[in-house]
Amino acid sequence: GAVVSQHPSWVICKSGTSVKIECRSLDFQATTMFWYRQFPKQSLMLMATSNEGSKATYEQGVEKDKFLINHASLTLSTLTVTSAHPEDSSFYICSAPRLPGELFFGEGSRLTVL
Partner 1 sequence: AQSVTQLGSHVSVSEGALVLLRCNYSSSVPPYLFWYVQYPNQGLQLLLKYTSAATLVKGINGFEAEFKKSETSFHLTKPSAHMSDAAEYFCAVRAQGGSEKLVFGKGMKLTVNP
User: Which residue, 19 or 92, is less far from partner 1 as judged by CB?
Assistant: 92
Least Å distance, CB 33 to partner 1, is: 10
Least distance in angstroms from the C-beta of 97 to partner 1: 4
3-state SS, one letter per residue, for 84-114: CCHHHCEEEEEEEEEECCEEEECCCEEEEEC
| CA–CA separation, 67 and 59 (whole Å) | 11
Rounded to 5 degrees, what are φ and ψ at 5? -120, 140
Considering the complex, state which of residue 18 and residue 55 has its C-beta at the smaller distance from partner 1: 55
Instruction: Name the site residues for partner 1 (rule: CB under 8 A).
Output: 4, 6, 9, 32, 34, 41-46, 49, 91, 93, 95, 97, 100-101, 103-108, 110
CB of 82 to partner 1, least distance (A): 23
Cα distance between residue 36 and residue 15, in whole Å = 21
